[in-house]
Structure 1
Amino acid sequence: MKKFSIYKPQTFYWTRTYKSYAFIIVIIISILVLKFLLNVPETHPAFKFLFLAPILPFIYRIALSLMVTNKYKPLKGKLEGYIIFKKDSIIIDKQTFPIEGIKKIEFDGVDWLGLEDWNRGFRGYFEDPFSQGVNNTLILYLWNGQIIKTRFQKLNHCEFQDIEEVILEYYLKDKLSYLQTVKILCLSDNDEWDRLKKLKQY
């Protein structure tokens, strides 16, 4: 039976990026303390290292970008429990949601294990390029007004094709929109789009 691992992020995680920023801040504070509180002259040998030290993490980052490391970003949490999609229900860890009690199903995020991303922004600037595939969220809108959000891991881009029959069942029951179905099943040409539309005409 096909399972998707549930991802539970930590509130804070000491990544390589955060450690690098902390290192730079410590160096800057050290320079300020030596110069303005201890009145150490700038000709002191310690300043030669301290003035150079803040650029070391950036040199390291450039070196990483030139090397083929094939390493993943830190997980920043843990994989615990599974999501199981069935035609008549969705099981999240140990809780079962009957399909009749679900008003709408949405999937947010396009991420999978090994997705390469060198544009990592401020919070991931010094990290390795390959994703852990956990930037995906299942959102269930229940008829009782409750909204259930669950982060999960995808192992490849079109992994939902492995449970295509189940996904199409959600679509035919109007639980999953046409655009969401196209997206998660990786339907890429006009013939596939037309076949999906015609399913509701019979």
Structure 2
Amino acid sequence: MPKVRASSMRVNASALAAAGQYTKVRLKTRQDCELAVSFYPRFRYNALGGGGWGTVTDLGDGKLHLSFDTSVLVIPDMSYRTATLMGLLPIPPPLNIAIRPVSLEGVLDTRSGEVNLNFESDFYFTASSLYTPPGLKIRTVLTTESTRGAAGLSATGRRLVGGSGVLVGTATVERVGDAFMDTFLQLPNDALAVMSCDFLFE
């Protein structure tokens, strides 16, 4: 079966007719992403090169279930190489935030371009080997619609057009039992993700 590039998948009648032909999907993250935790300003985050493969199941009525293999799903670490505060100041080394996906699955409506993906991951903050607190458990729905956290962090995504869109999600981050981390982030508190991405089907 020939590969279908994201740029050739339109959310219209032809895409609806072709939806049942797809068996695989590739997710590719782009450079114009954002992350925020607690009351701190948003980090601009270059996630270019991230992504992975998943399977596609036709649910009928133009809806596809997407399930990604998290053993090969890569989300680049946040570090001075990939993230800046307000687009100006890079994260100071040796601070690093590793994002380890646990699960990513949900539904794409090819008629409207709406996407809703259940996302679970662990975020690990480290400062070299000097400080390694427990990971933050993140559970959210990444959506092309709007999201708002309990503490007020919010964003609006963008539905897929030509296979490209913006997914957003908020989550409540609970305390991790580390006094410094719990105080520094004032946990429990909100986390927000803004993920620009492309979906390629085959």
Q: What band does the TM-score fall into relative to the shorter chain?
A: under 0.3
TM-score, normalised to structure 2, is 0.25
Greater C-alpha radius of gyration: 1
**Higher helix proportion, which one?**
1
TM-score of the two chains, using structure 1 as the length reference: 0.25
